[in-house]
Amino acid sequence: MKQDRFHGRMRGSQRACDAPGCPEPGEFRAPGERAPGFDGPGNYRWFCLDHVRAFNQGYDFFRGMTPDEIAQAQSPLAGWAGETRAFRPTAGIDQAPRWADFTDPLDAISARARARAHDHAKAQEAARRGINPADRRAYDTLGLGFDADRRGLRARYSELVRRFHPDRNGGDRSHEDALREVVEAYNHLRRLPAFS
């Protein structure tokens, strides 16, 4: 379809105008009832030129927003509040090297490259075995290899619970998040057929 001097017009559209009782073709797209969000791009209505003009005159992008939400949406910084992967200091790769651990900067770079190659090989092995990303995260949390069995899973779980549980380390509650992750990973893995 070709556009003309009216921005957004789609000539040759086979859609009918969505305005009730209008026989004209719907050549102009307008926002629909469902707005874009995390579950998709939303839907659209299609109108003829007269009806899209009427729609645009009555359209209010800010309807239903609080004054604070309106001010935030109008801010020139809207959408830049969160760090995206590309703008993180590490670009989402991993932690920066601890330079004091290396005598030569090239050793630090080499160590990072080896770690990335190891992660890549592990991801390929997981894919070959049919292990999905959620399963792999659980294996990594517990520090298990992909060939672990039920006995190894239980032994590793017991070891980590002893290490992180406040009752086992003098009431120190600083490891509660790690303990929670270990319990979730164990509960995830023990349901897998490999550990049945």
Q: Where are the domains of the chain?
A: 1-75, 94-130, 131-196
Determine the pLDDT at residue 139: 92
The per-residue pLDDT for 172 is: 75
pLDDT of residue 186: 93
pLDDT of 181 reads 93
pLDDT at res. 22: 92
Tell me how far CA of residue 114 lies from CA of 80, 88, 144, 175, in angstroms: 33, 22, 20, 29
Q: What is the pLDDT of residue 185?
A: 93
Which pLDDT score is estimated for 151? 93
Residue 95: per-residue pLDDT: 66
> Which residues in the chain show pLDDT less than 70?
1-5, 35-41, 78-97
Q: Output the pLDDT for position 156.
A: 93
What is the reported pLDDT for 153? Answer: 92
Q: What is the pLDDT of residue 164?
A: 86
| CATH tag for 131-196 (out of 3.40.50.720, 2.40.160.20, 1.10.287.110, 1.20.120.80) | 1.10.287.110
pTM of the predicted structure, to 2 decimals: 0.47
DSSP calls for 105-138:
HHHHHHHHHHHHHHHHHHHHHHHHHT--HHHHHH
d(CA 146, CA 128): 11
CA 109 to chain centre: 28
29 membership: H or E segment, kind and range? strand 28-31
Tens of pLDDT, residues 125-157 = 988 888 888 899 999 999 999 999 999 999 999
Contact 135, 189 (CB under 8 A): yes
Residue 104 confidence (pLDDT): 86
Instruction: Quote the pLDDT of residue 168.
Output: 77
38 in Cβ contact with 45 (< 8 Å): no
